[in-house]
Amino acid sequence: MIIDVHAHCFPKEYLDDIEKKGGDLVNVARYMKAGSDEQELAARFAVMESAGVDLQVLSIVPQVPYFANKEDAVNSAKMANNLYAQLITKFPERFQAFGIFPLPHIQESLDEIKRCFDELGMWGVTLTTTVLQHSIVEANRFEDIFAELNRRKAIVFLHPAGCCTGEQTKVFGLTWMIGAPFEDTYGVLHLILSGVTSRFPDIRFISTHLGGYLPMIMQRIDNLYTDWGDGEIQGKPSDFIKRFWVDTVAHGHIPALHNAVDVYPSDHLLLGTDYPYANHDKYVRAVDYIKQANLPEDLVRKILTDNARDLFKK
């Protein structure tokens, strides 16, 4: 069984709901036509079949239900999770999911996390690197949430929010082209250097896009942290980085995959495609490049199947 841990589904009902509340990026999601109606699902299953992918673990990010209004956030999070639960019930051989919770509201998020795991049977939950333009580690504001996720030994899928929109990335479409991997990079480092991963070592974080720029600059991070770094950890940042799982979304770029293989533990690499942003030939390439990278056969099997199966205990 080939398992894709990085795939999105944007049901129309949910997009309509968050658009009314001021949700970002909705038009892009609509354009991708990756919803839950019959035609969209048929197209998804066809491309999965062409790539040999058996199961996708769905995530609603970056179309997040993060609203200052508590009722808006709660209702949207519940809608997203309920729609995903319906898909899993209808297509259990094709889908599992990461649940979403209504940040920045603490108790309501704890309630929805409980529902995701205990009632809906989600395989994990998802979280973006920022919430309403603020770091997820800012002022320890989500400490109670991390504590609960740690108690559950939860799997947390960490995804960019699309917030790298400074003046230099607003041009030429750079926000997602280079901004998303930058968000991956600082998102992981925020969790590490704030001490979150030290205080809550049983949370199993998955970082997207090979962890952003981390594989390429890991030695630089260690050196400069030793010289000038400001953080709350004992030891080298790279020791903590290697505790993260990463997906293989690199747009089929074999040198990037080799870089990740060189620095991450072999059992922490998971197949990801970023469907529907990688679709048709790009989706097939996202899977096939693992097989074409001249990796040992046992490592290819681990990336495509075994590591996800072992992580999710399936």
Contact by Cβ (8 Å): 129, 190: yes
Contact by Cβ (8 Å): 76, 102: yes
How far apart are alpha carbons 178 and 78 in whole angstroms?
Answer: 32
Q: Report helix, strand and coil shares of the chain as percent, to nearest 5.
A: 50, 15, 35
Q: Which domains does the chain have, with CATH numbers?
A: 3-312 (3.20.20.140)
Give tens-digit pLDDT for 149-193: 999 999 999 999 987 767 788 889 888 899 999 999 999 999 999
- What's the pLDDT at 314? 57
By DSSP bridging, strand 130-131 and strand 134-135 are antiparallel
How far apart are alpha carbons 180 and 183 in whole angstroms?
Answer: 5
How far apart are alpha carbons 268 and 107 in whole angstroms?
Answer: 31
Mean of pLDDT over the chain: 96
Q: Which of 72, 151, 80 is nearest to 104 (CA)?
A: 72
Give tens-digit pLDDT for 185-221: 999 999 999 999 999 999 999 999 999 999 999 999 9
Q: How far apart are the first and last CA of the chain?
A: 11
Helix, strand, or coil (residue 269): strand
How far apart are alpha carbons 25 and 148 in whole angstroms?
Answer: 30
| Beta bridge pairs of residue 159 | 128
Is-above-0.95 flag for pTM? Answer: yes
Give tens-digit pLDDT for 125-136: 999 999 999 999
